[in-house]
Amino acid sequence: MTATESTEEVELQKLYTDFATEHLNPLWTQLGDLMPQQPNPKAVPHVWRWDVLYPLAQRAGDLVPVGRGGERRAIALANPGLGGAPYASPTLWAAIQYLGPKEVAPEHRHSQNAFRFVVEGEGVWTVVNGDPVAMRRGDFLLTPGWNFHGHHNETDEPMAWIDGLDIPFVHYTDTSFFEFGSEQVTDPATPRISRSERLWAHPGLRPLSGLDDLPNSPIAAYRWEHTDAALREQLLLEDEGQPATVEPGHAAVRYTNPTTGGDVMSTIRAEFHRLRAGAWTRPRREVGSSVWQVFEGDGEVVIDGREQRIAKGDLFVVPSWAKWSLRSDDGFDLFRFSDQPIFERLNQSRVFVEEGEE
**Number of alpha carbons in the 13 Å side-chain half-sphere of residue 287:** 13
Question: Between residues 92 and 159, which has the closer beta carbon with respect to a second copy?
Answer: 92
Q: Work out the number of other CB atoms within 10 angstroms of the CB of residue 357.
A: 4
Residue from 5, 261, 355, 358 touching a second copy (CB under 8 A): that is 261
Closest CA to 335 of 244, 274, 268: 274
The runs of H, that is alpha helices, within 88-172 are 167-172
Question: Between residues 267 and 328, which has the closer beta carbon with respect to a second copy?
Answer: 267
The count of residues interacting with a second copy (CB under 8 A) is 133
Residue from 38, 184, 190, 308 touching a second copy (CB under 8 A): that is 38
245 binds a second copy (CB under 8 A): yes
As a whole number of angstroms, the distance between CA 189 and CA 333 comes to 32
Phi first, then psi: what are they for 307, rounded to 5°? -100, 135
Q: Lay out the site mask for a second copy across 264-283 (x = CB under 8 A, - = otherwise).
A: x-xx---x------------
254 binds a second copy (CB under 8 A): yes
Residue from 348, 351, 353, 354 touching a second copy (CB under 8 A): that is 348
351 binds a second copy (CB under 8 A): no
Question: Between residues 156 and 204, which has the closer beta carbon with respect to a second copy?
Answer: 204
Question: Between residues 156 and 210, which has the closer beta carbon with respect to a second copy?
Answer: 210
133 binds a second copy (CB under 8 A): no
The minimum distance between CB 158 and a second copy, in angstroms, equals: 16
**Which helix H or strand E contains 52, and what residues bound it?**
helix 50-63
Tell me how far CA of residue 241 lies from CA of 139, 180, 230, 245, 280, in angstroms: 30, 53, 17, 10, 19
356 binds a second copy (CB under 8 A): no
The minimum distance between CB 308 and a second copy, in angstroms, equals: 15
Residue from 129, 143, 227, 338 touching a second copy (CB under 8 A): that is 227
Q: Which of residues 286-305 bind a second copy (CB under 8 A)?
A: 287-289
Q: Do 87 and 112 form a contact (C-beta atoms < 8 A)? A: no
176 binds a second copy (CB under 8 A): yes
As a whole number of angstroms, the distance between CA 204 and CA 158 comes to 37
Residue from 143, 147, 217, 328 touching a second copy (CB under 8 A): that is 217
Q: Which of residues 6-35 bind a second copy (CB under 8 A)?
A: 8, 11-12, 15, 18-20, 22-31, 34-35
As a whole number of angstroms, the distance between CA 125 and CA 74 comes to 16
User: Positive or negative CA dihedral for 153, 49, 282, 351?
Assistant: positive
Residue from 137, 195, 312, 327 touching a second copy (CB under 8 A): that is 195
As a whole number of angstroms, the distance between CA 271 and CA 255 comes to 6
**Which helix H or strand E contains 131, and what residues bound it?**
strand 131-136
The minimum distance between CB 261 and a second copy, in angstroms, equals: 4
